[in-house]
Structure 1
């Protein structure tokens, strides 16, 4: 039986504290270094896909970023981050949606996805996601993606995932994006276990 994705994630964020999920990071250094390394302007239109209640948005607000959109399938996750941000939540555009159902007329300068894309396992869903990223990215947009690597876990939060390598990323995003950087990184979970990730930075090609 196919798992109801929304139900699954609503339950995760309703029953687990932020330190009880494997992706918890008090300071998302890898993502913040991407913004620093590429000198992303503070006025950039930024979309975080599957951000849940991660601390990236808190840090970007602290650094003075002005145009932030956080998309997540779980309303519970978004309510949790809104509560944590307090008045600062008003500075963020929150969207409750499955990424595959997301529609917008906005074009983003930066699209960030850490540990969301790898939950797509069907070829047609992966293709739909690729088409979406291409469609909603502005000229010269950056796309930063992190997934489990080929030496990382096969499941996350009880769900199957798709592992990636630099070559695999190049094959699926290389038509529309130029790969600027690729590296592996070991994430230490709150449970003292480790997960091997691969991160890739892309720049939208001029069409």
Structure 2
């Protein structure tokens, strides 16, 4: 994602969190998949690219106690901290480029809704996968959502790499076992449809 930090800082500095195409009042599909994959509310969860997402609000409300949110844009993280107020102290906030980040720990759940699909260059994909391997351990759940094969080719003016659950599994490699898949027709705030592909994995070793 080198070179895109300024892009995302501008997006979140100039637009309301509810005025971007990926906004969801509640990330119902992600919540369902997280609860199914790791019902223990003390499990460590990291949300990759979750800067201004309201997923963290709902995870706090549901009693999850070990939450980390990473985003390349400090402006996105600040929107969530402001929105949460005192509750923001229950979350570890990390401003970092995922392709350059080295996780300090292994997480029980690695969640990513629409970061990986922005990585269209093999080197950046490999850097992400290196972080994924460092940030998970045997038994960790990985939940990833990307634009589906029939989804948009661009988002926020940037090209994306579209995936099915099968092609995403092939890209993650044999260390991660595909355990489930789902599709979602996301409605943007202005009513257009974006097709997403969700895939869940369990790390083998």
- When the two structures are superposed, what TM-score results if normalisation uses the length of structure 2? 0.96
Per-residue deviation, 1:40: 2.4
May I ask how many residue pairs the two structures share in their alignment? 205
Tell me whether 1:123 sits opposite 2:126 in the alignment.
no
Alignment of 1:40-119 (within 5 A): 40-119=39-118
State the partner residue of 2:143.
144
Tell me whether 1:188 sits opposite 2:192 in the alignment.
no
Q: How much is the aligned-residue C-alpha RMSD, in angstroms?
A: 1.3
Return the alpha-carbon distance in structure 2 between the equivalents of residues 167 and 107 of structure 1: 25
Return the alpha-carbon distance in structure 2 between the equivalents of residues 120 and 27 of structure 1: 25
Return the alpha-carbon distance in structure 2 between the equivalents of residues 31 and 166 of structure 1: 15
CA deviation map 1:183-204 (0-9, x unaligned):
2110000010000000000001
Return the alpha-carbon distance in structure 2 between the equivalents of residues 45 and 96 of structure 1: 18
Return the alpha-carbon distance in structure 1 between the equivalents of residues 190 and 132 of structure 2: 33
Return the alpha-carbon distance in structure 2 between the equivalents of residues 3 and 72 of structure 1: 13
CA deviation map 1:157-197 (0-9, x unaligned):
00011000122112112411111101211000001000000
* Shift in alpha-carbon separation, 1:91–1:56, aligned structure 2, 3 A: same
8 Å contact 2:49–2:69 — kept in the other structure?
Answer: yes
Alignment of 1:1-16 (within 5 A): 4-16=3-15
Return the alpha-carbon distance in structure 1 between the equivalents of residues 169 and 81 of structure 2: 35
Q: Which runs of 5+ in 2 are unaligned?
A: none
State the partner residue of 2:32.
33
Per-residue deviation, 1:151: 0.1
Q: Which runs of 5+ in 1 are unaligned?
A: none
**Partner SS state of residue 108, structure 2:** strand
8 Å contact 1:68–1:92 — kept in the other structure?
Answer: yes
State the partner residue of 1:23.
22
Moved over 3 A (4+): none
8 Å contact 1:109–1:139 — kept in the other structure?
Answer: no
After alignment, is 97-106 or 20-29 more displaced? 97-106
Return the alpha-carbon distance in structure 2 between the equivalents of residues 128 and 121 of structure 1: 12
**Partner SS state of residue 125, structure 1:** helix
